[in-house]
Amino acid sequence: TDTLLNDTLAAWDRDNLLHPTTHTSNHANGTTPGRIITGGKGVYVSDRDGNQFLDAFAALYCVNVGYGRTEVADAISEQAQKLSYFHAFAGHGNEPAIKLAKMVMDRAPDHMARVYFGLSGSDANETNVKLAWHYNILRGKPEKRKIISRWRAYHGSGLVSGSMTGLAAYHARFHLPLDGFLHTHCPHYLRRPDRDMTEAQHLDFLITELEAMIMDEGPETICAFIGEPAMGTGGLMPPPDGYWARVQEVLDRHDILLIADEVVTGFGRTGSMFGSQHYGLRPDFMTIAKGLTSAYAPLSGSIISQRVFDVLMQGSEDFGALAHGWTYSAHPLGAAAGIATLDLVDNLSLLENARDNGAYLQQALKDAVGDHPNVAEVRGVGLMVAVEFMKDPAAHEWFAPMTVGPQISEAMTRLGVIARAMPEGNIVGFAPPLSITRDEIDIVAKALRAATHEVL
């Protein structure tokens, strides 16, 4: 029977599968949610027990076109039957990867020149750092290799990408960050280091800190600065007004590359195609993943600028092949999923939807809980929105990390809505499929209100 099968699956799960980002002993003793998800349609997913959830976080802000799109599933299936795989080494090509590269470059800012496909956001960031190092080595500046990122950033879980991530839990007990990976303050006013700072003073502080770090370390040692145009996992925090223009000015003055990590912001989540366009960044590298295929298949990319590409081109004439390749780089099934996804983003006007319904979502959440005494902020851009809870917002007093945030998220799940408790805070995050409707948003807001009043 189903119950028997469920018990068997749960036991097999405990006995065989080591889960990512999971409390291992809680999972073993059955106190993680441990849901086995079996289906998805639109913004809804269902589990083996027959429960349905409105997924207001698009899994991990990746299923941007929504679940159950036959256009994407069919594209993968047709490609698998035609050619499931051939490698892209030594210049070999496959049709979907070439077509998708063209579609990506048509959408990227004009000064970007090529895209290198990988599998995950983490490996794309490893590629970015390796290519940035390679660029400086080819320019005769091998000592220019340090990387600056921000606290509360998330750039992945690899050794290099995990070093750039600025969340303590991803460093502790892993010998991270590696040498030469530095972090500046998180650009979020609520998290200003001094309560009495004005917003203008806070912005000055961030820029002064960056410049001081560069001068202390020596500009000749700094290779790149990496940032999410609007921070995601650290708490869905849009940057302060004017932040990126001033960061860019500092970087340009010291010949430091900018890596825009667009894994979350890419392909429409902010309401623009890329966060770089939304906030006027001029990156040398852009990291893409998640929305590229709506996670129907794994695929990521590193988009590189013309000036970086020119040096790589010259280098290959002098030194030979680029010795950096994953077996699955430019995998045709991921690429087929990417083409179908980007077509849907256009055909369903998902950028406009992210813009319009993002504003609607933010307002609906404000209407639902904005007047609650523990709500410090309802913030966001496009369809990435967060509600942050504090013990006493006026006194700038925080709750202990990961207390009420997870409780509210769990209460919402009991009400049938998935919203994510973001790490190291009390932040409930919303990043639904870009196809979400206003009626569905009303359900999300209602659940947030009920859950907030249940917990607080």
Total chain residues near ligand PLP (CB under 6 A): 16
Contact call for residue 233 and ligand PLP (CB under 6 A): yes
Q: Is 264 in the site for ligand PLP (CB under 6 A)?
A: yes
| Cis-peptide, bond into residue 177, ω within 30° of zero | yes
> Of 215, 211, 205, 228, which Cα lies nearest the Cα of 150?
228
Contact range with ligand PLP by CB under 6 A, out of 118-126, 166-174, 189-197, 345-353: 118-126
- Which is nearer to ligand PLP, 270 or 287 (by Cβ)? 287
Nearer Cβ to ligand PLP (256/289): 289
- 126 near ligand PLP, rule: CB under 6 A: no
Of residues 40, 66, 118, 156, which one binds ligand PLP by CB under 6 A?
A: 156
Minimum separation from the CB atom of position 443 to ligand PLP (A): 25
Does position 261 interact with ligand PLP (CB under 6 A)? The reply is: yes
- Binding segment for ligand PLP among 32-40, 119-127, 216-224, 243-251 (CB under 6 A)? 119-127
Q: Give the residue with the Cβ less far from ligand PLP, 131 or 390.
A: 131
Burial profile 354-393: b = 16 or more Cβ within 10 angstroms, e = fewer: bbebbbbbbebbbebbeebebbbbbbbbbbbbbbbbbbeb
User: Of 287 and 409, which has the nearer Cβ to ligand PLP?
Assistant: 287
**Residues in contact with ligand PLP, shown as a per-residue x/- string from 275 to 294 under the rule CB under 6 A:** ------------x-x-----
Q: Are 122 and 158 in contact (CB under 8 A)?
A: yes
Residue 301 Cβ vs ligand PLP, minimum distance, rounded to whole Å:
11
Q: Is 122 in the site for ligand PLP (CB under 6 A)?
A: yes
Q: Do 207 and 401 form a contact (C-beta atoms < 8 A)?
A: no
Nearest distance from C-beta of residue 196 to ligand PLP, angstroms: 31
Write each residue from 170 to 189 as x if it is in contact with ligand PLP (CB under 6 A), else as -, in one continuous string. --------------------
Q: Which is nearer to ligand PLP, 228 or 388 (CB)?
A: 228
Stretch of 22-30, 94-102, 201-209, 257-265 lying at the interface with ligand PLP (CB under 6 A): 257-265
Smallest gap from Cβ 122 to ligand PLP, in A, equals: 3
The answer to whether residue 154 forms part of the interface with ligand PLP (CB under 6 A) is yes
| Choice from 263, 286, 339, 385 touching ligand PLP (CB under 6 A) | 263
Q: Output 154 or 181, the one with its CB closest to ligand PLP.
A: 154
φ, ψ dihedrals at 372, nearest 5°: -70, 135
Binding region for ligand PLP (CB under 6 A) out of 36-44, 256-264, 373-381, 430-438? 256-264
Instruction: Closer to ligand PLP by CB, 126 or 440: give it.
Output: 126
Cα–Cα distances in angstroms (integers) from residue 332 to residues 76, 123, 182, 197, 327, in the given order: 8, 18, 36, 51, 12
Residues in contact with ligand PLP by CB under 6 A are 60, 120-122, 125, 154-156, 228, 232-233, 261, 263-264, 287, 289
